[in-house]
Amino acid sequence: MARELTTTSYAVLSLLAVRPWTTYELKEQMRRSLRTMWPRAESVIYEEPKKLVEHGLARSRVEYTGRRRSTVYEITEEGRARVGQWLDEPGAGPVMEFEALIKVAFADHGTVEQLRTTLRRIRDDAVKRVAITEARMAEYEEGGPYPDRLPVIALPSKLVREQNALLLRWAEWALAEVEQWNGVTPQTGARIPPDAFSG
């Protein structure tokens, strides 16, 4: 029995609609273009093309580079039709999964230094994310690997850029506030930032 298609299935199928890929190339392309909006484990990415073949939405062939064997997957006409049907369906909105933010939300059960450390780590990660995004934007300004796709690539790219910039601004703001605290409760020196709840 063919396994049910998931959003990851459709993400891989959509990549196959761009061009044929080996599973390694699919993994790299997922990491490159989709990790910010649909992060998935590599093991899942390696299984998805096989599932698409089971459904008749993709086909595979074996190619050799010297002695190195690779399986190349490409979309079928039925697969292209299925992508079109999937695009008609409503998509779920964003869901945040952010462990470090949970640690911030419950920091009053620890120390102010633990909170500062968590915020520094969030800030440092945000700096990396901003740098990666800006490098990708520079690549797109030069045309990128798929210049014909740039109009649609630009739409999610702008959101990712703004999200990363927002995360960095927030982390710097939160860290600046907490640097003034002596503790993590009002009794030990924490205070409500003046602009925390106002627009």
* Residues 83, 103 within the same domain: no
Does residue 120 sit within a domain?
Answer: yes
Name the amino acid, one letter, at 91. G
- pLDDT, residue 35, reads 84
Domain boundary among 88, 112, 138: 88
| Residue 191 tokens, joined | 């205070």
- pLDDT, residue 198, reads 84
CATH number at residue 56: 1.10.10.10
Domain boundary among 35, 54, 88: 88
- pLDDT, residue 32, reads 87
Does residue 14 sit within a domain?
Answer: yes
Q: CB within 8 A of 67, min separation 6: which ones?
A: none
* Residues 105, 71 within the same domain: no
Of how many residues is the chain composed?
199
- Please report the sign of the dihedral spanned by the C-alpha atoms of residue 120, residue 121, residue 122, residue 125: positive
* Residues 117, 36 within the same domain: no
* Residues 71, 109 within the same domain: no
| Residue 151 tokens, joined | 């109009």
Confidence of residue 1 (pLDDT cuts 50, 70, 90): very low
Rounded to the nearest integer, the mean pLDDT of the chain is: 93
Q: CB within 8 A of 7, min separation 6: which ones?
A: 38, 92
Domain that holds residue 147: 99-188
| Residue 150 tokens, joined | 């740039």
Alpha carbons 174 and 85: distance in angstroms, whole number:
44
* Residues 103, 183 within the same domain: yes
* Residues 167, 107 within the same domain: yes
pTM of the model: 0.85
Alpha carbons 59 and 79: distance in angstroms, whole number:
10
End-to-end CA distance of the chain: 53
Q: Using one digit for the tens of pLDDT, what is the confidence trace for 104-143?
A: 999 999 999 999 999 999 999 999 999 999 999 999 999 9
Does residue 1 sit within a domain?
Answer: no
Does residue 93 sit within a domain?
Answer: no
* Residues 177, 111 within the same domain: yes
pLDDT at 2 over 70: no
Q: Using one digit for the tens of pLDDT, what is the confidence trace for 48-92?
A: 999 999 999 999 999 998 999 999 999 999 999 999 999 999 999
* Residues 136, 178 within the same domain: yes
Number of domains in the chain: 2
Domain boundary among 88, 120, 143: 88
Confidence of residue 44 (pLDDT cuts 50, 70, 90): confident
Taking residues 95-112, what's their average pLDDT?
A: 95
Does residue 72 sit within a domain?
Answer: yes
